[in-house]
Amino acid sequence: MSRRARNRSAAPRRAAAVAVRPADPCPCGSGRTYGECCGRLHAGSAEAATAEQLMRSRYAAFATRDAAYLLRTWHPRTRPAVLDLDDGMRWTGLEITGTSQGSAFHATGTVTFRAHWSAGGESGVMAEHSRFTRGEGNGAWLYVGGDVRD
The binding site for Zn ion (CB under 5 A) comprises 26, 28, 30, 37-38, 56, 60
Nearer to Zn ion, 9 or 103 (CB): 103
Kindly tell me which of 28 and 136 has the beta carbon lying closer to Zn ion.
28
By beta-carbon proximity to Zn ion, the closer residue of 13 and 31 is: 31
Q: Which amino acid is at 114?
A: R
Q: Quote the least distance from Cβ 30 to Zn ion, whole Å.
A: 5
Q: How far is the CB of 94 from Zn ion (least distance, A)?
A: 9
**From the CB of 123, what's the least distance to Zn ion, in Å?**
21
Using CA atoms, how far residue 148 sits from 1, 92, 127, 131, in Å, is 8, 18, 6, 12
Which residue from 95, 117, 92 is spatially nearest to 5, judged by alpha carbons?
Answer: 117
Amino acid at 100: S
Q: 98 and 112 in contact (C-beta within 8 Å)?
A: yes
Query: Toward Zn ion, which CB reaches closer, 17 or 107?
Result: 17
Ranges assigned E (strand) in 13-121: 90-101, 108-119
- Residue with smaller CB distance to Zn ion, 6 or 58: 58
| 3-state DSSP helix/strand/coil % of the chain, to nearest 5 | 15, 30, 50
